[in-house]
Every structure is written in structure tokens, then in C-alpha cells.
Amino acid sequence: MTPPSPTRALPRRAATFVLLLAGAGGALAAPFEIAVSPSRFELSGRGGTRLGQSLEIHNLAPVATEVTVRTIDWHYSAEGQISYHDDLQPGSCRPWVALERRSVQLPARGSRAYRFQIEPPAGSPRGECRFMIAIEGSEPAQQALIQGGGASLSLPVTGRIAVAVYLALDGAEPRLDLQRIASSDSGGQRRIAVTVANTGDAHGRLEGSLDAVDSQGRAFALVPEGTPILPGQTRTLALMPQAEDGRAAPQPAYPVKVEGTLDWAQGSFKVEATLE
């Protein structure tokens, strides 16, 4: 495995990306038909201990292809906007990460295992290390820059899958508090959402579903948005109406009665309400 470079830019189901874009010169680039599994890593460890992991990169195209691999920083805002950062951000743990190689040759309709290691220094404080592993299809000029340590997010990329990695150090964990459930107008439609605060030192997610019945007697489930709630955040997460077959349910007629349990890693919230 290649040792960390001091100049490199250093977070289930498979994540899949199929894209055909024009290259820098306007000509069509080769299709980026890649799937990666798992779609994210949620790990635990402690300072002074090396942790090795691997992911599987699948080429779905009928021709061989090459992808580049690197780490990037990221942030998910309380409003649900994600941002990616090539430059090291304050407190970034990317210098702890060693990647197996910077590029991978994938055979037609074939796959490769790809290894990486995280080695937090001894004495690292309790908290959560977060970064993303970016698997990218790129033009030859960009591949050369990436391999030479000069990558920039402003360069043309023909496709990217970003796999989030979360490492909870020394017992870091979320602490979620369900503050309210309410309905409100959004984008011309009424929606149901929950507001959740995370006062812990690691990210958390809501899971489970609520049983709902609208004023016309129609029954459906309410499923929470599955995006992360980072430490220190208070987020309002949509509850999406879902029919028994898993499809989107019709727009509910209010008032709507809801009851059930929403789960998270260390507990659950009992919900019973009538939403006007």
C-alpha cells in the first residue's frame, strides 16, 4: 500500500453512477458506468490503532475503463446542502488516510477490491473523523494532475461517486433529541417534518416509519429522510408519505393522524400527533 503523501489532498447498498458527458474539448467522453459497495462506512476505533477497510468498484460498461481515487473533505449543512472541499479543511482527518493506489484499471463488466487504511495518531481526542473517498472517471490530462498531486475540483470530471467514511473515535456517539413534528407549506405543497437536534459528538440518522391516516381515511407510512445529522446540528427532516408497496403515496388530505416510533442508533422516539 502506498504511504500517505504530505502533499496530497486528503469522508448496505451499492452506490451507482452512470453518466455520459462531454470532455473539455467538447467531444463525448467514455461512459462512466460505475457502482461502488458499500455506499458508506460507519466505523469505530481509537487513537494509535490502524484500521484497514476495502470497497468494491464495479465497472458496468462493456469496455474496460480507468478510474482515479482520492480523498476529499465535505460538509452537510443544517439546511441539507452538501459541499465538497479539495483543500484540507480545519480539523480534517484526511492526513490519517492511506490509499492503496491513485488509479484503478477495471475490466469490462468486471470489478476490483480497493483497500484503504485509517491510522489516527495516539492521543487523538474523542470525536468523529469524516471524509469521502472519491472514485472519478476523468480525462487523461486530469488523471495526470491527480496522480501528480495537483488535483483541483475546478478541473473537468466526467463522473464521480463519493463514498462517505465515518470513524467514531474513543466511543464518540450521537445524542439525538426529537424537538417537534409539524406540517408546513413547502414549494406549494404541504409537508410533514420533524426537527431533531444532535448534541453528541458523532453523526446520527433517523430510521423506522410512522403510521398515518388522513382525513379521507387513507392509510400510509411516513418515512424519515435518511441524511445525516452532524454533531451540533439541529435539522428539520421531511417525512415522506409512502404507500404499502413502497411507492410515493398521494398528497395527504389534512388533518393527518400519525403514530409510531422513529429509531436512531442509541434509542427511539414515540410519536403520536394530529397534524392540521
pLDDT of residue 247: 83
Strands (DSSP E) found in the chain: 15-19, 32-37, 40-45, 51-59, 65-76, 82-85, 97-99, 103-106, 111-118, 127-138, 157-169, 176-186, 189-198, 207-213, 219-224, 234-242, 256-264, 267-275
- Nearest-CA neighbor of 257 among 183, 187, 178, 179? 183
Give the three-class secondary structure for 157. Answer: strand
CATH architecture under which domain 176-275 falls? Sandwich (2.60)
- Nearest-CA neighbor of 177 among 137, 129, 213, 229? 229
Class of domain 15-169: mainly beta
pLDDT of residue 133: 97
Give the three-class secondary structure for 52. Answer: strand
pLDDT of residue 250: 83
**pLDDT tens, residue by residue, 195-217:** 999 999 999 999 999 999 999 99
pLDDT of residue 216: 96
Is residue 152 exposed (0-12), middle (13-18) or buried (19+ Cβ within 10 Å)? exposed
CA–CA dist 69, 136 (Å, integer): 6
| Bridge partners, 14 (sequence order) | none
Which single residue is written with the C-alpha cell 458508506? 40
pLDDT of residue 148: 55
**Low-confidence residues of the chain: pLDDT under 50:** 1-13, 16-29, 140-144, 146, 152-157
Which single residue is written with the C-alpha cell 413547502? 186
CATH 2.60.40.10 intervals, the chain: 15-169
pLDDT of residue 46: 96
- Nearest-CA neighbor of 69 among 38, 99, 44? 99
Instruction: List the Cα angle 78/229/184 in 5-degree steps.
Output: 55
pLDDT of residue 111: 96
CA–CA dist 84, 72 (Å, integer): 7
* pTM summary value: 0.82
CA distances from 105 to 134, 193, 234 (A): 15, 44, 42
Element containing residue 147 per DSSP (H, E) = helix 140-147
